[in-house]
Amino acid sequence: MVQLTLPKNSKITEGQSFKAPADAKKTRTFRVYRWNPDDKKNPRLDSYEIDMSKCGPMVLDALIYIKNEVDPTLTFRRSCREGVCGSCAMNIDGTNTLACTKHLDDVKGDVKITPLPHLPVMKDLVPDLSMPYAQYATIEPWMKTQSSPPSREHLQSATDANILNGEDGHGPAACILCFCCSTSCPSYWWNGDRFLGPAILLQAYRWLADTRDEAAGERLDQLEDPFRLYRCHTIMNCTNTCPKGLNPAKAIAEIKKLMVARKA
């Protein structure tokens, strides 16, 4: 039988425990992943007991409270607080999502918070997104045309715009590149250096579906590869975890259909 062991200093240990003030009436415990590349120690889970009467309703509110009032060494990304920027993507209660839109009432018991899985960790809850961003650049995410530019902006019909935006607002153009989907995909875990992953393929489809773009053939040529596109096995983790309610799996299927159609 194969014996597998974790790399040195990778096993998560029990960390520090921070208690709420004695006069706190309603408390809740947050177990937060901590790792500092400078101290050469194992990652750990620190426990923070928070007085919820002094904290907002979202997971991000709790993290901000912890950093401001309890432990200023805690590191995480955040920006818009409205589910628009994707900065605060992390794994909460076992699911990849956005801390700013995850309501604490949706989590039962202690709140466990870790970084997005299967990415190198820079510090605490901050993953290294160098690889996904480099992959994003490969699809050339901008409009490419060969015809003469119009005298004003490129216009679309409402029908064409709905292909991108979705009639319900859940079209591919709504992707905020939080990478919750890619980091929930087993195919991306094992082949992340060659498989583009759900987030990037959703973005690729966004440009293939744009009626103003004139480089569909070139874009499909770039995706015609055993790994870039075809490592997707339609497990649906990406669609199930998307905090914006998008469907990356469907977008990937649409790209595959375009591949078949141009060979017919």
Among 84, 81, 82, 245, CA closest to 168: 245
Q: Provide the residue ranges of all domains of the chain, joining segments of one domain with +.
A: 13-127, 130-142+162-261
Note the pLDDT of residue 226.
92
From first CA to last CA, the distance across the chain in angstroms is: 48
CATH number of 130-142+162-261: 1.10.1060.10
The mean per-residue pLDDT over the stretch 145-167 comes to 90
Domain spanning 13-127, CATH architecture: Roll (3.10)
Q: Fill in the amino acid letter for 184.
A: S
Note the pLDDT of residue 122.
97
Q: Is the pLDDT of residue 114 over 80?
A: yes
Percent of the chain with pLDDT over 90: 89
Note the pLDDT of residue 41.
92
| Tens of pLDDT, residues 14-38 | 999 999 999 998 999 999 999 999 9
CATH topology of 13-127 equal to that of 130-142+162-261?
A: no
Q: What is the DSSP string of 182-240?
A: GGG-HHHHHHTTT--HHHHHHHHHHHHS-TT---HHHHHHHH-STTTTTT-----HHHH
